[in-house]
């Protein structure tokens, strides 16, 4: 087994809270800038993924705490779907993404890192955005300034999102 020293992951581990991290964001709108929240409405919020797969990776998350999408009422689900559709357009047109991955990992066995609260990943993609280090070392290299990407996304959200 190979081990890689990754001190930046400590920030993720150190911020584990007793309260669900997504409910913490829901319940603290005055901390939206600190939490990198891009958008918030009555049904859900959009937040940057602090440990992104690619630059611009963010999530759409319902305020309602559940680990099962089947527990979301139809109005919430349709609203989230509307936002996801607009976010894809925003990434392609406004951010220049050549493709987009959408996904929900439901349950720990389904690959969810935060299994107790459903969340929709929206990941911009570009041809060649992964390299050999991902394949041979199971490591990702993130070569972009997180805060610059957040500010760009925040400006795009204002232009593209209205549900």
* pLDDT string in tens for the chain (163-residue length): 444 444 544 554 455 557 899 999 999 999 999 999 999 999 999 999 988 888 899 999 999 999 999 999 999 999 999 999 999 999 999 999 999 999 999 999 988 889 999 999 999 998 877 654 454 445 555 556 888 988 898 988 888 887 5
For the chain, the maximum distance between any two Cα atoms, rounded to a whole number of angstroms, is 48
In a domain, 9, yes or no: no
| Cα atoms in the Cβ-side hemisphere of radius 13 Å centred on 114 | 24
The pLDDT value given to residue 140: 54
In a domain, 35, yes or no: yes
Question: Are β-strands 37-40 and 44-48 bridged in parallel, bridged antiparallel, or unpaired?
Answer: antiparallel
In a domain, 2, yes or no: no
**CATH number of the CATH domain containing 56:** 3.30.428.10
The pLDDT value given to residue 52: 83
In a domain, 11, yes or no: no
In a domain, 6, yes or no: no
In a domain, 128, yes or no: yes
pTM reported for the whole predicted model: 0.81
Domain that holds residue 54: 17-160
In a domain, 4, yes or no: no
Q: Give the N- to C-terminal CA distance of the chain in Å, as an integer.
A: 48
The pLDDT value given to residue 29: 97
The pLDDT value given to residue 70: 95
From 36, 57, 117, 119, active-site residue: 119
User: How far is 4 from 56, CA to CA, in rounded Å?
Assistant: 25
Is 65 marked active-site?
no
Q: How many domains does the chain have?
A: 1
């Amino acid at each position: 087994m190979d081990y890689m020293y990754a001190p930046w992951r400590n920030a993720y581990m150190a911020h584990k809270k007793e309260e669900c991290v997504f409910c913490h964001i829901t319940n603290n709108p005055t901390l939206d800038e600190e939490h990198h929240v891009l958008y918030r409405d009555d049904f859900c919020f959009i937040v940057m993924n602090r440990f992104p797969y690619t630059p611009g990776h963010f999530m759409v998350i319902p305020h309602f705490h559940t680990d099962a999408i089947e527990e979301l009422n139809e109005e919430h689900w349709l609203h989230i779907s509307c936002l996801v559709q607009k976010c894809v357009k925003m990434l392609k047109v406004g951010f220049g993404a050549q493709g987009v991955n959408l996904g929900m990992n439901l349950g720990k066995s389904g690959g969810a890192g935060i299994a107790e609260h459903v969340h929709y990943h929206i990941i911009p993609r570009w041809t060649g955005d992964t390299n050999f280090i991902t394949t041979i070392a199971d490591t990702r290299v993130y070569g972009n300034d997180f805060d610059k990407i957040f500010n760009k996304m925040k400006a795009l959200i204002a232009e593209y999102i209205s549900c």
